[in-house]
């Protein structure tokens, strides 16, 4: 039987393995010892020195990650919620994203910032955001957005070994999602999306939790005779633009589905990119399915309404068929 | 404290390098050479040199928008700095950084920083790296009085204290955050007192006296290398020029105040002291000044003759 583990376990395994492989890898963040395991096993005590609980000081411990990365370490900085990255944006955008470029390529910054994002239900506006657009719109950051335990582990290991700053976004709804992860080691390169489901009529491009909703939508549409191709981008920077264009060339129709507020979103960027580079393939307008342009509300009735749902994706596809 | 003759001579030479490098910048700005936004360090040389003379090549510093002095004191080559200011491909940063972002990782200079308070966490992180790698290095963050009102200052001192990091926090209190007097913006006039809130030593030192700065730093470096943690050192000093550029017209400070500080000029007074203490004769000191002059001249020539970056070079170096 194939081994199945959760996304959380996959990350823990990736970090534990890389810490054992390379003594310069360390993890820091707030309240890490609430989860003192790697891969579901108790933390190897030899690694304990390299798991650092920080005070609640996002600007300084994120910036400290940069200082450590510049001086021979490979830090993984864990933010409890992506919403808290906003405290540290000077360090992320002004310092971390720019120092390699500003120094003419002389600075090496092997730094991973791991931030869970997305709405997990009743967490309200300051603990539910999806903010990939901020990072995608900042040159100098790689942005990773996996949606399965397999991808989480393979991409996290690649992130730790990369010599550039990586924003590793996970979705809180996916923490306990189980999936196949082999025992043996593997890495997944950045910039390679994957086709989760082949189809001919419409392309849905998605990532993180909305990818799962897109797959459910595709199944529903199949029953109505509509063949949907679903692409999981896995990484937003670098972007697998060829995979998107090739699929649109085949289907002639594109829906981009994700969880950010629609205005200024990465979905908008991808839609604009396809309009520029693949207009000749399009048989219908591009559709974006994203959250409505309000903060994420508390009450379930409103939260469900604001977030992109399976029904919204189904409707978007039908609108352009 | 007994400081060797060669160390004293080296300190004098570094201070003269900083002064003459920046006087050359003033001259070049006057001639219309576009050097970008240069924040001049003249008047504060004793701080950078007094601190960095305690360091080895593999110790780290993080600097500020007013960074030329720190760069030179830590050993960044003047000709590459000049080429950077001239926007040339041969500059320290290949023309991508300019005055506010000079960095040279080969000499432990982790970068000047254009955001007030932005460099303090980076220096703190290099201290964390030292601690994790269990080496004997130290790190220093330079910052101004204005930066002590940023959250990063307080967070970083707290973190460095609880983790006993080998980091020196060097506040250059030059009495003004741009145009705003520290007497207005600081709740406590002696920045060093803030160390008490973080359970670490805090010392105020005469930032116009390179020996005073050297000696206080020396103690802090010993503490740090012995695993006893960080120190906050406040150097009271003064910039002779405007916040940036070569003007001396200040609407917010008086000529008398400026003249009073110039009486305490760190280089002039150190020079007199070296002669009086019999370290060097006037002739020898003049020889050092001539040598530095020639070095600056050569740096300008190198910068002038260096190629400009190609426009497309802008698309390189985003990732390594």
The tens digit of pLDDT for each residue in B249-266 reads 889 999 999 999 999 999
CA A167 – CA B134 distance, rounded (Å): 28
User: Which residues does B15 contact at the CB level (< 8 Å), separation at least 6?
Assistant: B45, B46, B49, B210, B266, B267, B270
Distance from CA of A229 to the nearest CA of B (A): 32
Per DSSP, which regions of chain A are E strands? 4-6, 25-29, 37-38, 41-42, 51-53, 74-78, 112-117, 142-144, 166-171, 178-180, 194-197, 202-206, 228-232, 235-237, 254-261, 287-291
CB < 8 Å to A70, chain B: 105, 110, 122, 125-126, 129
Cα nearest neighbour of A72 on chain B? B129
pLDDT confidence of residue A33: 77
Domains A4-180 and A194-320 share a fold: yes
Contacts with B74 (C-beta within 8 Å, 6 or more apart), sequence order:
B52, B55, B61, B104, B107, B108, B109
Determine, for residues B103 and A142 on separate chains, whether the beta-carbon distance falls below 8 Å: no
Are the CB atoms for B104 and B122 separated by under 8 Å?
no
What are the Cα distances from residue A51, in Å, to A46, A77, B6?
10, 10, 44
Q: Which residues in chain A are closer than 8 Å to B122, comparing Cβ atoms?
A: 63-64, 66-67, 70, 95
Most B CBs within 10 Å, among A60, A191, A235, to test the B interface: A60
Task: Using CB atoms within 10 Å of the CB of residue A106, give its burial: 0 to 12 exposed, 13 to 18 middle, 19+ buried.
Answer: buried
CATH class, range A4-180: alpha beta
**Is any Cβ of chain B less than 8 angstroms from the Cβ of A113?**
no
Q: A280 burial class (0-12, 13-18, 19+ CB within 10 angstroms)?
A: exposed
Q: Is B156 in contact with A142 (Cβ distance < 8 A)?
A: no
Q: How far apart are CA B135 and CA B123, in angstroms?
A: 16
- Whether residue A181 contacts residue A207, with contact meaning beta carbons closer than 8 Å, is answered with no
Dihedral sign of CA atoms B145, B149, B154, B155 in order: negative
Contact call for B128 and A64, based on CB within 8 A: yes
Greatest alpha-carbon span in chain A: 59
Strand partners, B140: B61, B168
Give residue-wise pLDDT tens across range A166-197: 999 999 999 999 999 999 999 999 999 999 99
Among candidate residues B111, B232, B216, the one with its CA nearest the CA of residue A67? B111
Query: Which two three-digit tokens encode residue A192?
Result: 């390679």
> Given B103, B152, B158, which is nearest A63 (Cβ)?
B152
How many secondary structure helices (H) and strands (E) does chain A include? 11, 16
**Token reading at A191:** 């910039």
Closest-CA residue to B200 (of B181, B177, B224): B224
Q: Please give the Cα distance from B26 to B242 (Å, whole number).
A: 12
Q: Determine whether A180 is an active site residue.
A: no
Reading across the β-sheet that carries A287-291, which strands appear in turn? A194-197, A228-232, A202-206, A254-261, A287-291
Residue A39: per-residue pLDDT? 62
According to the 3-state scheme, what is the secondary structure of chain B?
CCCCHHHHHHHHHHHHHHHHHHHHHHHHHHCCCCCCCCCCCCCCHHHHHHHHCCCCCCCEEECCCCCHHHHHHHCCCHHHHHHHHCCCCCCCCCCCCCHHHCCEHHHCECCCCCCCCCCHHHHHHHHHHHHHHCCCCCEEEEEECHHHHCHHHHHHHHHHHHCCCCEEEEEEECCEECCEEHHHHCCCCCHHHHHHHHCCCEEEEECCCHHHHHHHHHHHHHHHHCCCCCEEEEEECCCCCCCCCCCCCCCCCCHHHHHHHHCCCHHHHHHHHHHHCCCCCHHHHHHHHHHHHHHHHHHHHHHHHCCCCCHHHHHCCCCC
Q: How many CA atoms lie within 13 A of B218 on its CB side?
A: 11
Q: Does the distance separating the beta carbons of B126 and A67 come in below 8 Å? A: yes
Q: What are the residue boundaries of the structural domains of chain A, listed by start?
A: 4-180, 194-320
Which of B124, B163, B56 is closest to A69 using CA atoms?
B124
Which stretches of chain A drop beneath a pLDDT of 70? 34-42
Q: Which backbone phi and psi does B16 adopt, to 5 degrees?
A: -65, -40
Predicted local confidence at residue B11, as pLDDT: 98
Q: A35, exposed or middle or buried, with CB in 10 Å at 0-12, 13-18, 19+? A: exposed
CB A165 within 8 A of CB A113: yes
CB-CB under 8 Å, B104 with A106: yes
- What whole-number distance in Å separates Cα of residue A159 and Cα of residue B239? 44
Q: What residues contact B223, with CB distance under 8 A and at least 6 apart?
A: B201, B229, B231
Name the superfamily (CATH) of residues B5-272+287-304: Thiamin diphosphate (ThDP)-binding fold, Pyr/PP domains (3.40.50.970)
The pLDDT score that the predictor gives to residue A34 is 67
Secondary element (H or E) of residue A59: helix A58-70
The pLDDT value given to residue B249: 83
Q: What residues of B are in contact with residue A142 (Cβ under 8 Å)?
A: 319
Nearest-angstrom CA–CA distance, A6 and A39: 9
**How many beta carbons lie within 10 A of that of residue B98, not counting itself?**
20
Query: Which chain B residue has the Cα nearest residue A74?
Result: B129
What ipTM was estimated for this complex? 0.96
Give chain B positions within 8 Å (CB) of A91.
118, 121
Which residues make Cβ contacts (< 8 Å) with residue B148, sequence separation at least 6? Answer: B171, B186, B191, B194
Per this entry, what is the length of chain A?
321
- Residue B99 near chain A (CB below 8 Å): no
Residues of chain B with pLDDT under 70: none
Catalytic residue among A74, A78, A98, A127: A127
Q: Cα(A83)–Cα(B7) distance, rounded to whole angstroms?
A: 50
Cβ contacts of A8 within 8 Å, gap of 6 or more: A35, A175, A176
Query: pLDDT tens-digit profile of A244-285?
Result: 999 999 999 999 999 999 999 999 999 999 999 999 999 999
Residues of A in contact with B155 (CB under 8 A): 55, 57, 59-61
Residues 6+ apart with CB under 8 A from A88: A58, A59, A62, A63, A79
Contact B124, B156 (CB under 8 A): yes
- Contact state of A104 with B128 under an 8 Å Cβ cutoff: no
> What is the CATH number assigned to the segment(s) A194-320?
3.40.50.920
pLDDT tens per residue, range A213-222:
999 999 999 9
Relative to beta strand A166-171, strand A142-144 is parallel
pLDDT value of position B250: 86
Residue A194 contacts B where some CB pair is shorter than 8 Å: no
CB B141 within 8 A of CB B47: no
Name the closest residue on chain A to residue B96, using Cα atoms.
Answer: A102
HSE-up (13 A, CA, CB side) for residue B306:
25
Q: Å from B72 to nearest chain A CA? A: 17
- The chain A residue lying nearest B60, using CA atoms, is A71
Place of tokens 């950077």: B84
Dihedral sign, Cα of residue A279, residue A283, residue A285, residue A289: negative
The angle at the Cα of A45, spanning A39 to A48, to the nearest 5 degrees, equals: 85
């Amino acid at each position: 039987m194939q081994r199945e583990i959760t996304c959380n376990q996959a990350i823990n395994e990736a970090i534990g393995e890389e810490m054992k492989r390379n003594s310069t890898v360390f993890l820091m963040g707030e309240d890490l010892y609430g989860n003192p395991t790697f891969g579901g096993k108790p933390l190897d005590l030899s690694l304990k020195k390299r798991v650092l609980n920080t005070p609640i000081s996002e600007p300084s411990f994120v910036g400290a990650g940069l200082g450590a990365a510049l001086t021979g370490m490979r830090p993984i900085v864990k933010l409890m919620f992506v919403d808290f990255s906003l405290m540290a944006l000077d360090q992320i955008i002004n310092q971390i994203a720019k120092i390699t470029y500003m120094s003419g390529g002389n600075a090496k910054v092997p730094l991973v910032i791991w931030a869970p994002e997305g709405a997990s239900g009743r967490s309200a506006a300051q603990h539910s955001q999806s903010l990939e657009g901020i990072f995608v719109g900042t040159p100098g950051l790689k942005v990773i957005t996996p949606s399965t335990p397999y991808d989480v582990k393979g991409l996290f290991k690649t992130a730790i070994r990369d010599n550039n700053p990586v924003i590793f976004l996970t979705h809180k709804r996916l923490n306990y999602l189980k999936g196949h992860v082999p025992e043996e080691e593997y890495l997944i390169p950045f910039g390679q999306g994957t086709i989760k489901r082949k189809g001919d009529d419409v392309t849905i491009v998605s990532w993180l939790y909305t990818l799962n909703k897109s797959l459910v939508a595709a199944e529903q549409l199949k029953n109505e005779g509509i063949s949907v191709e679903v692409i999981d981008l896995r990484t937003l920077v670098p972007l697998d633009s060829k995979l998107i264009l090739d699929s649109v060339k085949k289907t002639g129709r594109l829906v981009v589905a994700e969880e950010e507020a629609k205005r200024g979103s990465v979905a908008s960027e991808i839609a604009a990119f396809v309009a520029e580079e693949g207009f000749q393939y399009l048989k219908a307008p591009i559709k974006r399915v994203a959250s409505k342009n309000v903060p994420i509300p508390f009450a379930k009735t409103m939260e469900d309404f604001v977030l992109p749902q399976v029904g919204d994706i189904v409707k978007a596809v039908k609108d352009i068929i | 404290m007994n400081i060797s003759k060669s160390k004293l001579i080296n300190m004098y030479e570094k201070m003269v390098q900083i002064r003459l490098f920046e006087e050359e910048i003033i001259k070049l700005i006057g001639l219309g050479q576009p050097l970008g936004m240069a924040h001049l360090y003249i008047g504060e040389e004793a701080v950078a040199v007094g601190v960095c003379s305690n360091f080895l090549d593999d110790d780290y510093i993080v600097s500020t928008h007013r960074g030329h002095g720190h760069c030179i004191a830590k050993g960044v080559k003047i000709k590459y700095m000049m080429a950077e200011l001239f926007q040339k491909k041969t500059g320290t940063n290949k023309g991508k950084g300019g005055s506010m972002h000079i960095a040279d990782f080969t000499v432990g200079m982790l970068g000047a920083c254009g955001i007030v308070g932005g460099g303090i966490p980076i220096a703190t992180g290099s201290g964390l790296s030292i601690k994790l790698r269990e080496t004997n290095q130290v790190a220093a963050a330079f910052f101004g009085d204005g930066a002590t009102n940023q959250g990063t200052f307080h967070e970083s001192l707290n973190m460095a204290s609880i983790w006993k990091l080998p980091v020196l926090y060097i506040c250059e209190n030059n009495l003004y955050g741009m145009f705003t007097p520290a007497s207005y913006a600081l709740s406590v006039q002696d920045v060093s007192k803030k160390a008490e809130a973080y359970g670490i030593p805090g010392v105020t030192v005469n930032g116009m006296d390179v020996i005073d700065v050297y000696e206080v730093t020396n103690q802090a470096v010993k503490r740090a290398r012995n695993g006893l943690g960080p120190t906050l050192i406040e150097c009271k000093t003064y910039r002779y020029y405007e916040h940036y550029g070569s003007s001396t017209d200040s609407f917010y400070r008086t000529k008398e105040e400026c003249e009073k500080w110039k009486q305490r000029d760190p280089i002039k007074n150190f020079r007199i002291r070296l002669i009086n203490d019999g370290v060097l004769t006037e002739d020898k000191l003049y020889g050092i000044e001539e040598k530095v002059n020639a070095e600056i001249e050569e740096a300008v020539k190198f910068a002038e003759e260096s190629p400009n970056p190609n426009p497309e070079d802008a698309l390189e170096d985003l990732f390594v």
